[in-house]
Amino acid sequence: MHPGPRRLPPEPWPDPGDDPGDLPAAAAQALRAAGAAWDDEATAERHVRDALALAPGHLAVQIGAYKFFLYRHRLAEALPLAEACLAGALRRTNLPADWRDLRPDQAAFGSFEPAPRLVLFALFACGYLLARLDRQDESREVLMKVAELDPPDRMGARRLLAVLDRGGRDEDGRDEEA
């Protein structure tokens, strides 16, 4: 699996749905500046790192930083941020700190409630990044948990597991652009 084309940041950046809550104004401004400086990777990264320094444990900052590194195809740097997002989402929902202990009956994972969906999104992000980083066994374990929590497969974990089963190839035998 290899990175696809470079993508532009979402507008606005970070998403309003990221629930910034009590995000310090300076950290919010740093994230906005990162989005505005998107074409200058070094400047945008400096703003992302400023936001992390200003509000290191804030979920909105972690999500924004994760998106920056993901969209820049800097996946090894995105993974610890996705893991931090998952840890924060689990704390917010009072779910077990270890995702392996999650059960479908512990939260409304299939609903549109933001907190349980954030857990699923963050868990899927971890599984996706692990797959792209060629950590297949770890990816499979995470994605199997997502599939367990998301029986209708809205997240697409079963599709990604099938890609892993085919060695990174789509149904026609071409390299998958996951």
Q: CA-to-CA distance for 169 and 173, rounded, in angstroms? A: 5
Q: For 75-127, how does the pLDDT look when each residue is reduced to its tens digit (9 = 90+)?
A: 999 999 999 999 999 998 999 999 999 999 999 998 888 999 999 999 999 99
Q: For 3-52, how does the pLDDT look when each residue is reduced to its tens digit (9 = 90+)?
A: 443 444 444 444 434 445 689 999 999 999 999 999 999 999 999 999 99
Candidates 163, 158, 159; CA nearest to 145 is: 158
State residue 169 phi and psi, 5-degree precision. Answer: -110, 145
Helices 75-92, 114-132: inter-axial angle, 10-degree rounding: 150
Q: For 153-176, how does the pLDDT look when each residue is reduced to its tens digit (9 = 90+)?
A: 999 999 999 999 988 766 666 666
Q: CA-to-CA distance for 13 and 75, rounded, in angstroms? A: 19
Q: CA-to-CA distance for 178 and 145, rounded, in angstroms? A: 19
175 DSSP β-pair partners: 169
